Amino acid sequence: MTGQPSGMGRRSVRPLALFLDGEGGYTTVAMALALLLSITLVLFAGRVQWGLSRAAEVQEVADACSMAGSNVVARYATCAQVCDALILSMGLAGMVTCGAALVLSAVPGAGPVAAETLEKGISLLETRADFAQSAVRGLAALERLVPALVMLNSTATVEANEGEGLTYAGIAVPVPLEGQSDFSSLGTEIDTGSLERKAHEMQEASERIEEARTRADGALMRGWMADCGHRPRCMRERASTLAGLTGGQNPDYASYESWTFGAALVRARTYYPMRRNLDGPENGTVEALVDSCVRKAFYGYAIERLSMASYVERADGGVDMQLPEFPHNTAETRSTSLYTEALWPCTVEGGRVLHATLSCPGATGPADGYASLAQLDAGDVSRCEICQMDVTDMGRVAAASTSIDNGFEHYWREVVRASRDYEQARNERVEAEAQLEGIAQEGTDLFGEALDRLRVPRPHIVPPGAWGCVALVARTETESIPESLGGTFLDAGALPPGAALSAAMLAPDESQDGNSVLAHLFDGLSARSPALSGVLGDAGRLWGTLIESYGSSYDGLARDSSDFLDRIDGVFGGSVGAWVRDTVEGLVRDAGLEPSDIRMLKPVLVSSAEVFEGAGLEGVARAQQLILALGQSPDIGAIARALGVDVPGGWGGGTITIAELPIPGTGQAIPLDVDLSELAGAP
């Protein structure tokens, strides 16, 4: 029997025959299945990518939520910084203006300007005090609202990010929750009463100096006019005409500023010896002989008196003068040595007789010494019947050259009388200047003490959220996966709930200039009330300048203050005013009033651990409380109340007045308002 090979007549089955053909190629089923799997994988990957993308959006919303909360804190901090800057710069402007008033108070003749400047400085300081009190109250009230504003603004931001099927619930909480700011330094009082009284005392002393200077100048002018200023006659002209003095013996002075009473004294000392040497009888009569003798006696008397005269200018600016006044009538002659001194020769003519000279025709007897006119009046000697010499002759000669303007003595008498007024005025001025120096020292000491009142620590600004804001946002409603992502191939699905935590804190924005904010604010205040600059004048402009240069460095403020003081007119080197100005500038420069940091702040995302580190254990506990409260269906109002923050329902916003800036002399005030609706994210 012939057998068949094993397996003959049976068909072999290959495991992959459904996918591979006999030649090793892919079958149609394999191609269809591969395409189906590929589509499924692509759709699944798209669904995963969509889910991850949509799930990540909750973190972005949380970041926006924390940033929105910190943005409220930044705006509050800006308000506090601006108020501090306004108060400090206003105080410095007021003090510098008062310092300028002290300088002007030490300038003779500047009393009215000094009083006006002092009034402006005190007005600035009073405005600063009123504004500071208002700002302290307003900032404290606004700080109490910061937690609610943070929560409201953050929840508004969360709501604004809803859409495309996703619903979020979230809130940002400031850390710390309660503000710890200290604004007590803003209300520091500056007592200007003592400074004001001392400035008035300086003004009174300056007025005495000015009055004495005016009198001294007037007396100097009168003396100069009598000596060489009068035309056509004066002492110089009389000395030239009567005694022939010329050139260096008889100098001319073009103005009273270049002349002194010492020049008149020198001229007189030169004139009288020359005049005595040149004098002689005008004719051969006895009367002419007597007149010549009397004149020579008068000239000798003048020479003697002038030799004892003096003119001394002291180092302190005063003068000591002793210029003799000569008699100009018989009565005045009796009070001089011309009357009491034995100047006149006597002869024995049956008795002792007094003559004008032994050349008198009546002097025929033997000489018998000399006698005085006082002895003649007393009857100790007899009067000559020929020359008839007596005190009347001496008085007549003096009167003839003094009473009318053709005599040298007429102008000398004016010089002497002017010298007495000049000496008194100059010495009163020196006394007043010494008083002014003492008062100025006391005034600058008071200025330094008042300036020290500004050297208080800057306000400690620690509002709610100073350490940061922590936000938690939950995706409270899920969104179905789009049909386009494999509804035909994959089971229907939805995005699961999720939550995200975020934190933000404030950091200085170096790209922003805080000074420009202050400058724009001052411009805005001036525009709202032109009277602000008009009433304060230069003091207001100084405040504006200080605000514009306000920054983290004190150098700019001190430089602006010095420039303001340097522009004061009438201050000369070596004067009390110059000393006061230099002292005030030094006190301002050395005060070191460090401006507050007015760099703009901006929110930056940080790790929540940084915020919790600043918050301490209490902050961590509150964060946990927040997370637990959100849950699956958070109630924002309940969370806020649980944290102790009152967020009124139906928040209406409105405005809050942080401070009111009074306008001196007007009874008006400029309110500085904050729009709460904007801070709270109201539409």
Query: Domain residue spans in the chain?
Result: 47-186+469-648, 191-318+403-452, 329-394
**How far is 503 from 498, CA to CA, in rounded Å?**
17
**How far is 91 from 97, CA to CA, in rounded Å?**
10
For residue 422 the two structure tokens come to 């000049």
| Mean pLDDT to the nearest integer, 356-378 | 95
Strands (E), 323-438: 344-348, 352-354, 367-371, 382-383
Residue 213 confidence (pLDDT) above 80: yes
3-state secondary structure of 637: helix
Q: What are the respective helix, strand and coil percentages of the chain, to the nearest 5? A: 55, 10, 30
Do residues 548 and 518 lie in contact, with contact meaning Cβ atoms separated by under 8 Å? yes
3-state secondary structure of 482: coil
Which burial class, exposed, middle or buried, applies to 457 when counting CB atoms under 10 A from its CB (0-12, 13-18, 19+)? exposed
Tens digit of each residue's pLDDT (9 = 90 or more) over 630-646:
544 455 566 666 666 65
DSSP-derived secondary structure for 288-305: HHHHHHHHHHHHHHHHHH
Q: Which of 139-148, 165-174, 540-549 has the lowest mean pLDDT?
A: 540-549
Q: How confident is the model at residue 490 (pLDDT cuts 50, 70, 90)?
A: very low
Q: How confident is the model at residue 383 (pLDDT cuts 50, 70, 90)?
A: very high
Do residues 236 and 228 lie in contact, with contact meaning Cβ atoms separated by under 8 Å? yes
pTM over cut 0.75: no
Q: Which DSSP category does 379 fall into?
A: T
For residue 157, the model assigns a pLDDT of: 87
Do residues 248 and 299 lie in contact, with contact meaning Cβ atoms separated by under 8 Å? no
**How far is 577 from 585, CA to CA, in rounded Å?**
12
**How far is 434 from 454, CA to CA, in rounded Å?**
31
- Cβ within 8 Å of residue 264, ≥6 positions away: 223, 226, 227, 235, 323, 412, 415
Tens digit of each residue's pLDDT (9 = 90 or more) over 304-354:
999 999 999 999 899 999 999 999 889 999 999 999 999 999 999 989 999
DSSP-derived secondary structure for 223-289: HHIIIIISSS-SHHHHHHHHH---GGGS---SSGGG--HHHHHHHHHHHHHHHHHH---SSSSHHHH
β-sheet bridge partners, residue 310:
322
Tens digit of each residue's pLDDT (9 = 90 or more) over 55-89:
567 788 888 988 999 999 988 888 888 888 888 88
For residue 333 the two structure tokens come to 């002659």
Q: How many Cα atoms within 13 Å fall on the side-chain side of residue 118?
A: 26
Residue 404 confidence (pLDDT) above 70: yes
- Strand duo 382-383 + 352-354: pairing: parallel
The more confidently predicted of residues 53 and 191 is: 191
For residue 303, the model assigns a pLDDT of: 96
Residue 229 confidence (pLDDT) above 70: yes
Q: Which of 100-109, 238-247, 616-625 has the lowest mean pLDDT?
A: 616-625
